[in-house]
Amino acid sequence: MRSVLVANRGEIACRVLRACREAGLRAVAVHAEDEAGALHTEMADLCVPLSGAGASAYLDGEAIIAAALANDVDGIHPGFGFLSERAGFARAVLDAGLIWIGPSPTAIEKMGDKMTARITMREAGVPVIPGEEIEIESSGDEAADLNATLEAVRAASERVGFPLLLKASAGGGGKGMRAVESAEGLDEAVRGARREAIAAFGDGRVYLERLLRGARHVEVQVLADAHGRTVHLGERECSVQRRHQKVFEEAPCAVVDEQQRQRMGEAAIAAAEAVDYVGAGTVEFLMEDDGTFHFLEMNTRIQVEHPITELVTGVDLVREQLRIAAGEPMKVPDLAMRGHAIEVRIYAEDPANGFLPSIGPLAVFRPPTGPGLRLDTGVREGDDVSPSYDPMLAKLIVHAPNRSEALQRMRRALDEFVILGTTTNVAFLRDLCDLEAVVSATTSTTTLDEAYPDGWQPEPASEAVLALASVLATARRSTPTTVGDGASGPSSPFLSLSRRYP
């Protein structure tokens, strides 16, 4: 393998393209029409424009394979999102005679279908969340299928117990998922989940899981090469989530000791081996207070939060992906976790306004620097944040000898981070660092909902802020000599016109 095309954009494309250059591989980027000159295109030896603008350009598998074949490319790295978990694309890449930098299409399929994954895991001895798959042979008639599903779910719900989670087998990202508190809400939830799943995935099959409240999201990184070696690289805790979207991740998990790590690591390896996994992957578990853990799903790709594992293990996961794809044995020493790493995801969104995505120019973009920091960014100062793509701009990662120092380093780094022109979640992330549950390492997947039941609000503007605002407002209008109107103004320079316009 001498040349790799990265079928992605943003920070993960930058990450993988850099790894290619470090590995001595020719790095090829692709970009949509509206992303010519985007940061990731700077990291490549060659840029191939795709037709069309927005996410659809990066989802055009045929065009990407054609670009690879036309430009002397040997392998395709999909990053995450976009085509990374599409078995059909992986198969097309292989059929075109190219190297697919990821697990086999069969492994993607087995883990992508959540019901199949549950059954496979149970057979491999990996604990799954207590629940039941609803196996309904499709009759081609939705009304009949729905009725059969309703009947089967009602019967299964008595065995699973309430509260329970109803999930679409083809689901992901919260789509086709319903929490059901009691039998009364069951039928409505089944109808809703099926409708959503059919619309989003063309597949309405559902399964039931007991709803585990207050559990932690703990996931284990695995690596497997084609020479029969499968290892785990310890865990990450990603409990701090907002609507199933992770925002704050750390490694190791503060409540996982060496024995627990061993148990979870072995389960993760068993999960990977059950589908003959090759490459980098993540096995996600829900972990209860007593340490009981259950398989949630396996992500068959590199993950957003992979850098925290890299910092505490010293293993370059993307470099290993490239090595494994080239057919070489991985170069990973015995697991030794050092210190503590935390990652936060910088989103262009307004946390004070329901976390709605925001757009605008990055008029000022000055990331923090100094010891123990890593910034994986897909943008730089002067870029425009467009509504056409995912709002994640960058990831800020810190590494320190222990958890409390890592948290303190993250506070310092977020304080230094200046982004002006587009609203981001930086201040929200900074507040998270002071949240009681975060400080005491008692986070669960419901922590954020409990901490901000009425939403999050920024700190009010201080007098210094107002004063600077007034200077910014007038400085452009005129030279200082004509600014201000001291003679006719009121005695206080801070006349507040009170709360008038909520």
Partner 1 sequence: MVDVRAGDEVHELHPLPRGEGWSVGDIEIVRLPDGRWHVKHGEATFLAHGTRIGDVLWMHIDGRVHRLEVIEAGAQSAEEEGSFSAPMPGGVLEVLVAPGDTVTAGQALLVLEAMKMEHRVTAPYDGKVVAVHVAQGDRVQQGESLLEVEANEA
| Residues of this chain that bind partner 1 (CB under 8 A) | 360-361, 363-364, 366, 414-416, 418-421, 423-424, 426-427, 430, 458-476, 480-481, 483-486, 489-490, 492-502
- Report the nearest approach of partner 1 to the CB of residue 406 (Å): 18
- Report the nearest approach of partner 1 to the CB of residue 417 (Å): 8
- Report the nearest approach of partner 1 to the CB of residue 481 (Å): 6
Three-state SS across 350-381?
A: EHHHCCEECCEECCEEECCCCCCEEEEECCCC
- Residue 380 is among the residues annotated as catalytic for this protein: no
Cβ distance to partner 1 smaller for residue 183 or 469: 469
Cβ distance to partner 1 smaller for residue 157 or 358: 358
Cβ distance to partner 1 smaller for residue 251 or 410: 410
The contacts of residue 346 (CB under 8 Å, 6+ apart) are 377, 392, 393, 394, 395, 396, 417, 419, 424, 425, 426, 429
Cβ distance to partner 1 smaller for residue 425 or 444: 425
- Report the nearest approach of partner 1 to the CB of residue 121 (Å): 44
> Facing residues of 241 across strands?
246
- Report the nearest approach of partner 1 to the CB of residue 348 (Å): 13
Could you give the C-alpha distances from 371 to 198, 214, 455, in angstroms and in order?
49, 35, 33
- Report the nearest approach of partner 1 to the CB of residue 422 (Å): 9
Could you give the C-alpha distances from 372 to 25, 399, 401, 405, 432, in angstroms and in order?
28, 5, 10, 10, 20
For the chain, how far is it from start to end, CA to CA, in angstroms?
Answer: 60
Residue 60: phi and psi, rounded to 5, are -85, 85
Cβ distance to partner 1 smaller for residue 386 or 442: 386
Whole-angstrom distance, CA of residue 76 vs CA of residue 68: 8
- Which of 9, 178, 242, 301 does the annotation list as catalytic? 301
Rg (CA), the chain: 25
CB neighbour class for 421 (10 Å; exposed up to 12, middle 13-18, buried from 19): middle
* DSSP code at position 11: H
Whole-angstrom distance, CA of residue 310 vs CA of residue 306: 7
Whole-angstrom distance, CA of residue 15 vs CA of residue 79: 9
Cβ distance to partner 1 smaller for residue 336 or 497: 497
Catalytic positions are 301
